[in-house]
Amino acid sequence: MTTDRRTFMQYLTAAAVGAGAMLKGEGLRAAVAEGQTSAGLGSPWPAMQYRTLGRTGYNASRLFFGCGAALSSRRQDRLLNTAFDAGVNVFDVGFKHYYDDAEKHLAPFLKARRDDIFLISKAYVPIEVEEQEQASAEALRAAAKGWTAYLDESLREMQVDHVDAYYFMASFNTSVITSDEMYRAFEDAKAAGKVSYLGLSSHQNTQNVLTAAAESGRFDLAMIAITPGGWYDWENKNVLEGSPPLTELKPVLDKARAAGIGLIGMKAGRFLAGRRFLGWGNPDAFDAHYDDAFLQAKLSSFQRSYAYVLEHGLDVVNADMQNMVHLKENFVAAATSAEYFRTA
């Protein structure tokens, strides 16, 4: 199995903490246990926590299983079932034109679990438009047909006749997400029994997109790229230049929540992993946003980022989990996040 950068960083955490225990004279067994616990590898699975997901009313696990990368090239039934058995009840995937065979590889799991989970998929709105451009009515009508065709294709790939939510994927243009043409496409699909709720995902122009979605009153879910340091910039793989930190974005998030939108975080820890050509790794990138007590918690840098966003404005987080290490690490962060921010 190839070890990715995130897994490598986690094992370094385990090794470093374990070495510290050895230096304190605690012995090999204590060192191994402390190192594994710090990296989220050795401790028992805590009880998952749940949150009502906006106006859907669904009692969702605070960790969503992001299936796209994990299932793009192969089945991962054991990983999916482990997550489900531990308490994860929302599974998010995406259309094959971006995620390859992920939907197809999710189908066997769905045959056994479909009635027990909340299922989300998504597709691009097929339209050529710039970020600030007003899309034409003609282009929007064509885009609505294209998005509907993607929804039908997703249902076939997953071998289901209904998905709980389907998104406008990677939304960045407000005229597209608020258009009557696109909303009618969703309403028609809902009337046909294909989908129950409308959502969007965004990691570009996200504040404007989320505000427009809230003002439209049409969206049930929004998956947004956000970090402890503020909005995530997909193009630069960094925190968006000039973004206020997460704590200062509370009015934007509160407005969306007041409109009935369930808020799903993504990319909360992506910047921490860094980029290969820059030497990988920015594990301390968000430490300035944490107090001393939180920094002392036995959590990896990734776990801190997830726990922090969950307790500062997000209902849940969607995490890409390609192996048991990722799953356990993210699960622990989501299940225990409230413990680190309790007030007396």
Distance of CA 223 to the CA centre of its chain: 7
Residues 306 and 317: beta-carbon distance below 8 Å: yes
- pLDDT at res. 1: 33
Q: What is the 3-state secondary structure (H, E, C) of the chain?
A: CCCCHHHHHHHHHHHHHHHHHHHCCCCHHHHHHHHHHHCCCCCCCCCCCEEECHHHCCEEECEEEECHHHHCCCCCHHHHHHHHHHCCCEEECCCHHHHCCHHHHHHHHHHHHHHHCEEEEEEECCCCCCCCCCCCHHHHHHHHHHHHHHHHHHHHHHCCCCEEEEEEECCCCHHHHCCHHHHHHHHHHHHCCCEEEEEEEECCCHHHHHHHHHHHCCCCEEEEEEECCEEEECCCCEECCCCCCHHHHHHHHHHHHHCCCEEEEECCCHHHHCCHHHCCCCCCCCHHHCCHHHHHCCCCHHHHHHHHHHCCCCCEEEEECCCHHHHHHHHHHHHHHHHHHCCC
- pLDDT at res. 200: 98
- pLDDT at res. 344: 41
Q: List beta partners, residue 66.
A: 92, 320
Give the CA angle between residues 312, 319, 3 to the nearest 5°.
Answer: 130
- pLDDT at res. 77: 97
Return the number of other C-beta atoms located less than 10 Å from residue 188's C-beta.
13
Separation between Cα atoms, residue 339 and residue 205, nearest integer Å: 33
- pLDDT at res. 343: 59
Residues 227 and 237: beta-carbon distance below 8 Å: no
- pLDDT at res. 269: 86
CA distances from 179 to 137, 139, 185, 199, 287 (A): 9, 11, 10, 14, 40
pTM attached to this predicted model: 0.88
Separation between Cα atoms, residue 167 and residue 176, nearest integer Å: 13
Q: What is the mean pLDDT of each run of 10 residues along the chain (344 residues)?
A: 46 46 42 46 87 97 96 97 98 98 98 98 97 97 98 98 98 98 98 98 97 98 97 92 97 98 94 67 91 94 96 96 94 97 68
- pLDDT at res. 276: 57
**Close Cβ partners of 236 (under 8 Å, ≥ 6 residues apart):** none
Least Cα distance to 268 among 4, 64, 96, 7 occurs for 64
Residue whose structure tokens are 């065709």: 149
In single-letter form, the type of residue at position 24 comes to K
Residues 88 and 65: beta-carbon distance below 8 Å: yes
- pLDDT at res. 15: 44
Separation between Cα atoms, residue 39 and residue 290, nearest integer Å: 18
